[in-house]
Chain A
Amino acid sequence: MKIASFFTLAFFASALLAPVPRALAQTSADCLTCHADAGMQDANGHSISVDDKTFHSSIHGVLECKNCHADISGYPHPDKIAAVKCETCHADEAAGLVGSVHADGKDHPCTSCHGDAHTIVAKTDPKSAVYPLNVPRTCGQCHGNEGMAKKHGLPSVYPAYIDSIHGFALNKEGLLVAANCQTCHGSHHILSHKDPLSATYKTNVPKTCGSCHAGIATDYEQGIHGKAVAAGNKDAPVCSDCHNAHAILQPTEAEFRTQSTPICGSCHKEKFSTYRDTFHSQLGSLGGYVETARCWDCHGAHEILPASDPRSPVNKANLVKTCGRCHAGANESFVQYQPHANAHNRKLNPALYYIGLFMNLLLVSVLTFFLIHTILWLIRQRLEQVKRKSTEGGNHA
């Protein structure tokens, strides 16, 4: 709530209080005569009791009951009273909600995020449901709920977020600047990621992430992926395509390193397949050797440039240095090694193709010949054995 609206509210409240009270004009104290009873419930069994002390220490504590419950003008009042209109004071927030994914007010009254209006505190208060450290838990009430997620066709993202690097920083370290839900999605005017105006719409993602990760965003914009996305190529990856949206892992750690290659491979299929034929892949697939070269160890991660670019780590002039980061003693001849050689491609890798062909022919011919040889031998020898046994049997008879 903005300061300005607070004053508006205070003015509004005093204006209401100023006129000469009508015969049955109510003060909050009057209401609490009944509603202070802790066990008070409405016909549906919902608590309608208000704790005076909590209410007065809440941010709404300066208000009178009737400022919000404007339809009640005296006692006794009807059983059914009108829903409180928060937008009376919180007009900007209410306007933001319009057109957002939470616009359906029935499912998303303000209180489902902000909590009971009688106990509400400022968002800078660690007790607030929308205090940065509490936001994920608040959103998670619905977005970590399988039933809720299913009903709206959404993934249950809370568990993924809470185990992510953002979730860890926020939950374990209590880091206020760690991205929580609203850092990326906004708070009131949340739009679907399919909406081009959404902060999480594909082409807006680099800007959204870049609002914190400014250095990486700059690198990304200069790389081939960033340029492709900027040029309108929707197939090129943005941050969340490689890092995930919610289950973001620390990229230098084993878990991300071991799953990063298939991520690149989901687009670069041929390169992935040829990588898999190499020792690098064998090393990396079996666990333990986390440091083994993955795509981005050689190609770079954010500022990926084509090999023809002299700044690219896989440019011919830089190979000795790039390979040398792992292979001490790498020289010009060593870097002639092709990390994506294709033994099935005669035109690109003729030497490898013919060596592979020779090895395969050798394998197939040796095994075929000896398989036939051995099977025939087995049959023949068994026949001999049976014959010998039967003659022996005959002698004994």
Chain B
Amino acid sequence: MPDLEQATVTAAGKERYFTRFTAAQRYMHGVLFSSFLGLAATGLPMRFSQSFWARKFASAVGGFGAIIFFHKLCAIVLTIAFLIHLKNIFTRGILNREKGIFWGPNSMVANWKDVKDLVGHMRWFVGLGKRPTFGRYAYWEKFDYWAVFWGMLIIGFSGYAMWFAPFFARFLPGWALNAVLVVHSEEGLLAILFIFSIHFVNTHLRPDTFPMDMVIFTGVESEDEFKHKRPEEFDALKKEGKLEARLGPAPATWWINFARVIGFTAILIGLTLLVLTLSAYFS
């Protein structure tokens, strides 16, 4: 980012900023990562209940009772967030018939271009071609989204099945009660490993964005960043003459600093949990 920042000063000496995420979307990400961190921090000690740190952590916070309480609390928060998101999609895509929600260049739904981008991107990694140009959501961002979406359904369902086991036993076979724990813990582990290693690096820690991509906190990104990262969306907006409509306010310094503290705390917690998970997994 430092390179880009230097270059973004325009002739007028003023940087232009464009909106990428609405306030609601940023808050949603905030709720999502806080509750996810909470679920991970309380879920891992249960998954690795025999490990030294799990027992230390449990006794420090007040035993299993405290852990399961916070796990369930975060689960409820995340469930509500998920339901709000579903409601938003339903309202925008189905009630308001907003275009581009389920298909098109700005949709989260994967398309043929994503496959081509993935192949092209990997060819570029090894020097076999040019770097592909990306639209509003790149294929790895869509994967992040769908991984979370599928994860919420799977982990959420299996979690509630355990929470209300006698109720679920009315329509689930007995072996399913065994299966839900396996599914819940394995899928949870996958989510934790994926978010704390792949998502962190892809989105925040890789050289282009290091140490953190602030757009999810500020909602805006500079013109050069926009052009460099998502040329297709930029060009399309320019062509349609809608670019100006996307102009946003420059982020306030205090907000950037505040967001950095929050963001780095989240990344630090995540990386700590990642190390603990790997140590428990391979011991």
Contact = CB atoms under 8 A, between A and B. Distances in A.
A and B co-occur in one complex: yes
Interface of A: 276-279, 281-289, 292, 327-331, 333-338, 341, 343, 349, 351-352, 355-356, 359-360, 362-363, 366-367, 370-371, 373-374, 376-382, 384-385, 388-389
B167 interface: yes
B84 interface: no
Interface residues of B, number: 54
Closest 8 CB pairs of A and B: A336-B174, A288-B63, A359-B186, A334-B169, A329-B166, A286-B58, A376-B125, A285-B49
A355 B179 contact: yes
25 contacts: A276-B50, A278-B181, A283-B68, A284-B64, A285-B54, A286-B58, A288-B66, A292-B64, A327-B165, A329-B166, A333-B172, A337-B174, A338-B178, A351-B179, A356-B186, A360-B186, A367-B193, A377-B202, A377-B206, A378-B201, A379-B125, A380-B125, A380-B126, A381-B207, A385-B207
B73 interface: no
B178 A352 contact: yes
Q: Summarize A's interface: helix, strand, loop or mixed.
A: helix
Contacts of A366: 147, 190, 194
A367 B194 contact: yes
A290 to B, nearest CB: 9
Given A362-B190, A380-B125, A286 B208 contact: no
B174 A285 contact: no
B202 A374 contact: yes
A333 B178 CA distance: 12
Given A328-B166, A366-B194, A336 B186 contact: no
Interface string B187-206: 10110011001100110001
A327 B168 CA distance: 13
Contact of A376 (B50, B126, B170): B126
A288 B49 CA distance: 13
Given A282-B49, A363-B190, 10 more contacts: A289-B63, A327-B165, A329-B167, A351-B175, A355-B179, A363-B193, A374-B201, A376-B126, A377-B202, A381-B208
Nearest to A363: B190
B207 to A, nearest CB: 5
B170 A374 contact: no
Contact of B206 (A276, A363, A381): A381
A286 B46 contact: yes
Contact of B182 (A283, A288, A355, A388): A355
Contacts of B22: none
Given A349-B175, A363-B189, A377-B206, A286 B54 contact: yes
Nearest to B208: A381
Given A363-B193, A378-B206, A336 B173 contact: yes
A61 B26 CA distance: 95
A285 B55 contact: yes
A279 B183 CA distance: 13
B135 interface: no
A329 B168 CA distance: 11
Nearest to A276: B50
B111 interface: no
B49 A367 contact: no
Contact of A287 (B64, B165, B167): B64
A359 B183 contact: yes
A334 B165 contact: yes
Interface in B93-146: 121-122, 124-127, 140
Contacts of A283: 64, 68
A279 B64 contact: no
B65 interface: yes
B31 interface: no
Contacts of B198: 367, 370-371, 374
B198 to A, nearest CB: 4
B3 interface: yes
Contacts of B272: none
A352 B175 contact: yes
A286 B49 contact: yes
Interface in B53-71: 54-55, 58-59, 62-68
B169 A378 contact: no
Interface in B16-66: 45-47, 49-50, 54-55, 58-59, 62-66
